[in-house]
Chain A
Amino acid sequence: MHRTGIRRFHLARDVEEALSLLSAYGGGGALLAGGVDLLRGPPGQVEGMIDITGIGLSQVGEARGGLAVGATTTLTEILKNPAASAYVGGILCEVLRQVAVPPLRNMATLGGALVSAHPWGDIPTSLVALGAEVRWRGEREGKAPAEELYRGEFRGLFRSAVATEILFPPWNGAFAYEKIGRARYDIALLNSCCGVGIRDGVVAWARVAVGARPDRGERLPWAEQALVGQKPRESLWGEIQDLVQGQVEVGDDRRAGAVWRRHTAGVLVRRALIRAAEKAGR
């Protein structure tokens, strides 16, 4: 709780200042957004705290038919934003309402969640499912899908770069989110974010992601492929459930075992798909 290691605190004015402070500290500086993760554990090696909540990255707006969210926007700000609420039938807000609790959502930022990338996180699973793209500024500007970032050395990247914006693409269809915790306010024992688009009575596209297995949420491309071109009907969802239960990669941790995760992953995917298809059909 006492952070003896912290020697300096900076309120950065813009991205440039944040970046130059970050590089000035070498490995000893940290970007501070909501602080929900950073100030929770032991201080570690952080010597200089660089507060980035004042660098002008807290806005939400429509962008190219989708949604653009500044990295330091708090989860509460997103939840209260009309554009965010309207995005793909409100899926982002459906997810965020299940993240932590109101006072933590008042503090936590989308960028922080992206970078912390907790394996049990609701946000990473959803970013991947929704095909969110991340913009950052480091030595150079960069842009990549969250999914791709998570496959690479993103932790190293954000030691010398600031995530600036998360872009959510438009989807002609709908998504739904499912989560199971030990209590209603809990991190996920398992989560799933799925979406479908339906055209001419068949599934035109599908997104299926499952997280907290216990590893970080990833898409199940084979399940998506199995959906495309099919008629949305009761038996299809059952088949996908079986498929997921047969093939999904799961593991044990202290929160839940692999057998339960395997079984339940199929159930959550089926339920999310049914709800998404219902919404998409409307």
Chain B
Amino acid sequence: MAVETRQRGAVGQSVTKVDGPALVTGKPVFTLDLDVPGTLVGKILPSPHPHAEIVAIDTSEAEAVPGVRAILHHGNVPRIPYTTAGQGWPEPSPYDTVLFDRKVRFVGDRVAAVAAETEEAADEALAKIHVEYRVLPTVFSPEEALASDAPPLHNEPDAEGIYDAKRNIAAAVDIPVGDIAKGLAEAPIVAGATCEIPYSQHAALEPHCVIAYFDEGGRLVLRTSTQVPFHVRRIVARVVGLDPARIRVVKPRIGGGFGSKQEVLLEPVAALLALRTGRSVRMACTRQEVFVASRTRHPMRVTVRLGAGKDGVLQALDMEVLSNTGAYGAHALTVLSNVGSKTLPLYNKARHLRFHGKAVYTNLPVAGAYRGYGATQGYFALEVAMDALAENLGMDPIELRRRNHIRVGETSPIFEKIGEGREGTAQIIRSCALADCLRIGAERIGWKENRGRRCEDGPWVHGLGMACAMQGSGITGVDMAAATLVMQDDGSFRLLVGATDLGTGSDTILAQIAAAELGVPVDRVLVYSSDTDFTPFDTGAYASSTTYVSGNAVLRAAQDVRQQILDVAAAAVGERTEVLELTDGAVQSRKTGKRLTLSEIGHRAIYVVDQRQIAATASFLCPESPPPFAAFFCEVAVDRETGVVRVERFVVAADCGVAIHPKAAEGQLEGAILQGIGHALCEEMLFSKSGRCVNAGFFDYKIPSSLDVPGIKAILVPSEEPTGPWGAKSISEIGINGPLPAISNAIYDAVGVRMIRAPFTPERVRFVLGATA
């Protein structure tokens, strides 16, 4: 699949997003924009307690509310353990969840659900469900959860896949390479950092929502805001006990996901309410419910210890993780594993490595997949530790990275040792422009001129910081995507993909990949995606997989269709396919100059001679996971008196291989950087002493607004990934890994204190400054 020198057509062009015109004119393309007449309103009764047993539940008064059509609770719903994590089968997350349990494990946990004719009736019914609870002791931190006398959250006998339920450990890993103790002891220069990330939110603008309705044949249709339509279908079928063949899942346009919609949350409840009532049901989370009862980033404490030679080359690298998975273990093991697997290979020189950690249950909201998927937490500690190591070495931080980072042709033992909840796969780096990223980014920010200068401007002190990161492109040996490409009689194409565009632009990028292969403009390729009835399988939008995995599937299908087109043309002009060329919407003979347009070919194939459908379905199984690389640079200003930190400029230079759609790639970086700046400066979910989230909304959980955007400069540094479609790798996650460490390191450059607990609020910065003054 070597990159050919053929014309790339649409690839590399920032073409109009295929769904752009509808989005920018406000067409009804989102889940809840569909009005299904006679739809019931579904709502969920949340637990008021962080940990309690349900002794009794009385729904008689609620059932009597006019307009109430169904009430679900543990007493009338079959008990089937599953995981809400929308992962491929077999899911590596523990089966520690049932639709409605006898026990609630966090404030906001699901107690019951109602379907009613109106919002008002549903609310009234919820208020009239009487639940008697026996309150249980609670644990609100991983340390408490691990204490010997801690109450076990998951003592139910039917849970599966929990690492050590008695000790509240959802998952654990310990991967040694070489002899870490010896490596650290013998290294002449050491450094380390322990960094903490709190509960934080994806904050996609569209709250989670679903409409469940029945089609003409009585099959259940779930129109849902999801990143994983095929997993939704599989998991819902099992949990509600319906033949999967009776379920169709449709993902329309969705208003952002960032991982929180890789979770199967409302769909089984809506499905069951629809089945019980025989009516369509619509469910939507309030913003508060999204905060509390959807998913969050895994709060973590990550400790990194580094040992290096005097030349700065790493000899030992130890990373220890304590992850809080909340009340359920969604993505507990895989996020934990990725803290190491997506970070440690970046510095592949160390011969002694250890990656070990635990993911622990607490009586707090459930963590899940979130852009970066553990790597974000890992890089915070790793890159702050690298900054400290550079200082101890008296070496420029960029130079330290240069001496250590992985390069083309190299590998890391970690690729093979850590996979997604199982062993990984060895892989060799085939493309890496990190050295260029470092150079270009450093020039752009003015590293040489400004680093270490501590320029002052009143109380403000300026500083520069940097960090590096890599991610992956899909899950090796697990992620599979398929595409069907059909040629129409007018010579245009239909591209059917299971891939899930959650605003990232993947529909457009996949169309570009096909269009480039077929020598047509993008508007000749109609994309239809994410419908389990009509599109072939795709694992879904996660693990930075779509451009690489789904893109390769599309490319294969397009190559096949291209060949079929040439075959038809060859028969028509009476020449061999080898002398034919497909460009600019036509096939032309290099020998005779004979020319047939695609519409003539399409017409001929369908109506004229030897009629047949020109079409192909191809699939692609992720054989390896080529990492994108990035170097991050920022300038901050710190107000020494108040502790306020302002990010003045942010430069990211990233290698995503060939950018299929440069503006979309930049947009992914810019958005991820700003989310990362939010993590660094202001985002944190706060809890009362009884475990209730006290800032569940945008009023008190601040996400950055346009006023908080520094000059962000996203620079795409090209490389060519030989295994990627048209040379492409992923780009959507990596950007979020940089801001935390880069900003922390810049604050250190400015005022000499290490911020290791996010977010770096004025209060925390002042506290640390005061302590050192």
Q: What is the 8 Å Cβ interface bit string for chain B, positions 283-327, against chain A (1 contact, 0 not)?
A: 000100000000000000000000000000000000000000000
User: Which of B28-36, B700-708, B713-721, B725-733 participates in binding chain A?
Assistant: B700-708
Residues of A within 8 A of B705 (CB): 101, 183-185
CA distance A204 to B366 in the complex (A): 59
Do A189 and B762 form a contact, CB below 8 Å, given A183-B682, A254-B694? yes
B641 touches A260 (CB 8 A): no
A183 touches B708 (CB 8 A): yes
Residues of A within 8 A of B681 (CB): 182-183
Decide if B159 is an interface residue (CB 8 Å cutoff).
Answer: no
Residues of A within 8 A of B704 (CB): 183
Do A180 and B707 form a contact, CB below 8 Å, given A254-B686, A267-B642? no
Decide if A264 is an interface residue (CB 8 Å cutoff).
Answer: yes
Residue of A nearest to B677 (CB): A183
Q: Which of A1, A2, A259, A267 has the most CB of B within 10 A?
A: A267
B707 touches A185 (CB 8 A): yes
In-complex Cβ contact of B641 among A2, A186, A256, A267 (8 A): A267
Residue of A nearest to B688 (CB): A254
Residues of A within 8 A of B120 (CB): 2, 4
B767 touches A260 (CB 8 A): yes
Residues of A within 8 A of B708 (CB): 183-185
B707 touches A184 (CB 8 A): yes
Residues of A within 8 A of B766 (CB): 260, 263-264
Whole-angstrom distance from the CB of A47 to the nearest CB of chain B?
15
**From residue 652 to 677 of chain B, which have CB atoms closer than 8 A to chain A?**
none
Q: What is the 8 Å Cβ interface bit string for chain B, positions 691-711, against chain A (1 contact, 0 not)?
A: 000110001101111011000
Residue of A nearest to B694 (CB): A254
**From residue 535 to 580 of chain B, which have CB atoms closer than 8 A to chain A?**
none
Decide if B252 is an interface residue (CB 8 Å cutoff).
Answer: no
CA distance A134 to B424 in the complex (A): 71
Decide if B596 is an interface residue (CB 8 Å cutoff).
Answer: no
CA distance A268 to B644 in the complex (A): 12
CA distance A187 to B699 in the complex (A): 8
Q: Give the dominant DSSP class at A's interface.
A: loop
CA distance A257 to B700 in the complex (A): 15
Residues of B within 8 A of A186 (CB): 702
Q: What is the 8 Å Cβ interface bit string for chain A, positions 172-195, against chain B (1 contact, 0 not)?
A: 000000001111111101000000
Residues of A within 8 A of B123 (CB): 4
**From residue 207 to 257 of chain A, which have CB atoms closer than 8 A to chain B?**
254-257
Q: Which of B119, B120, B762 has the most CB of A within 10 A?
A: B762
Q: What is the 8 Å Cβ interface bit string for chain B, positions 627-652, against chain A (1 contact, 0 not)?
A: 00000000000000111100000000
Residues of B within 8 A of A268 (CB): 642
Residue of A nearest to B701 (CB): A182
Do A260 and B702 form a contact, CB below 8 Å, given A183-B681, A183-B682? no
CA distance A264 to B642 in the complex (A): 6
CA distance A257 to B703 in the complex (A): 21
Decide if B761 is an interface residue (CB 8 Å cutoff).
Answer: yes
CA distance A186 to B697 in the complex (A): 13
In-complex Cβ contact of B702 among A101, A180, A182, A267 (8 A): A182
Residues of A within 8 A of B533 (CB): none
Number of interface residues of A (CB under 8 A): 23
A180 touches B762 (CB 8 A): yes
CA distance A183 to B681 in the complex (A): 8
Whole-angstrom distance from the CB of A181 to the nearest CB of chain B?
8
CA distance A263 to B681 in the complex (A): 20
A257 touches B763 (CB 8 A): yes
Residue of B nearest to A241 (CB): B641
CA distance A180 to B641 in the complex (A): 12
CA distance A261 to B641 in the complex (A): 12
Residues of B within 8 A of A183 (CB): 681-682, 702-705, 707-708
Residue of A nearest to B640 (CB): A267
Residues of A within 8 A of B763 (CB): 189, 256-257, 260
Whole-angstrom distance from the CB of B119 to the nearest CB of chain A?
5
B643 touches A260 (CB 8 A): yes
Q: What is the 8 Å Cβ interface bit string for chain A, positions 264-282, against chain B (1 contact, 0 not)?
A: 1001100000000000000
Residues of B within 8 A of A254 (CB): 686, 694-695, 700
CA distance A55 to B707 in the complex (A): 36
Residues of B within 8 A of A263 (CB): 766, 770
B700 touches A255 (CB 8 A): yes
Residues of A within 8 A of B761 (CB): 182, 256
Residues of B within 8 A of A264 (CB): 641-643, 762, 766
Residues of B within 8 A of A257 (CB): 763
Whole-angstrom distance from the CB of A93 to the nearest CB of chain B?
17
Residue of B nearest to A267 (CB): B641
Q: What is the 8 Å Cβ interface bit string for chain A, positions 48-87, against chain B (1 contact, 0 not)?
A: 0000000000000000000000000000000000000000
Residue of B nearest to A184 (CB): B707
CA distance A256 to B759 in the complex (A): 13
CA distance A182 to B642 in the complex (A): 12
Residues of B within 8 A of A189 (CB): 762-763
**Seed contacts A183-B705, A254-B694, A264-B762; 8 additional CB < 8 Å A-B pairs:** A180-B642, A180-B644, A257-B763, A259-B767, A260-B762, A264-B643, A264-B766, A267-B641
* Closest 6 pairs (CB-CB, A-B): A184-B707, A260-B763, A183-B702, A185-B705, A182-B682, A267-B641
Of the A-B pairs whose beta carbons lie under 8 Å apart in the complex, a sample of 6, sorted by A's number, is A180-B642, A182-B682, A189-B763, A254-B694, A254-B695, A264-B766
